[in-house]
Structure 1
């Protein structure tokens, strides 16, 4: 793994652990740099999974529909509109769960960030509302 590292005013770009050790960087600075790389990788995987479930365009359409439906009186909403709002609530909750996993996965290098088991599943109602858009 390559990373950029800085310590006491000195910076080395695109180096490896072995090279950083040879250059005299302290272990803590190396470990911090490696954690930074892992955190960025976890963020990218989280983003990929969210956009895989719902593209940016789908998310915009869902948000627009949610705003239009929410503007209606509750008793004026159709059953389909009510289910869309429920699905949107589930989708928003899922995104929050995904984001909270970023820190947990970044902090534990033993966990495989590409393993589906390490990420919350998309709720069925969220999947249903995504399919409508």
Structure 2
């Protein structure tokens, strides 16, 4: 196992945001959560998992979750609906029906010189039908 000083975390820093219906949270509400990060036995790879759930009573459209890893790490695996874009990773889920839940995971290498905290933070945006 490689020796390194490393703290891993998953943070939902930005909370959730809704586009086009700022006062209609009951009509369409999206929640997301990260699970605890998983470190490989060798200590050279980390995996974060998340869920995105429509907790509202109407469909949410153009659902997008954006992730940011700090410090920037080499990403080695992403779900098909996710693409890296600069320092962020964008995952597009299209429309989520009421109660629908999607899951994803992201893997990243931890270079030997990695020290200090490695964090993932997220933000979700979506559109809700205007009432």
Both structures adopt the same fold (TM-score exceeding 0.5): no
TM-score when scaled to structure 2? 0.29
The structure, 1 or 2, with the larger RCO (C-alpha pairs under 8 Å, 6+ apart) is: 2
Higher helix share: 1
TM-score when scaled to structure 1? 0.28
Higher strand share: 2
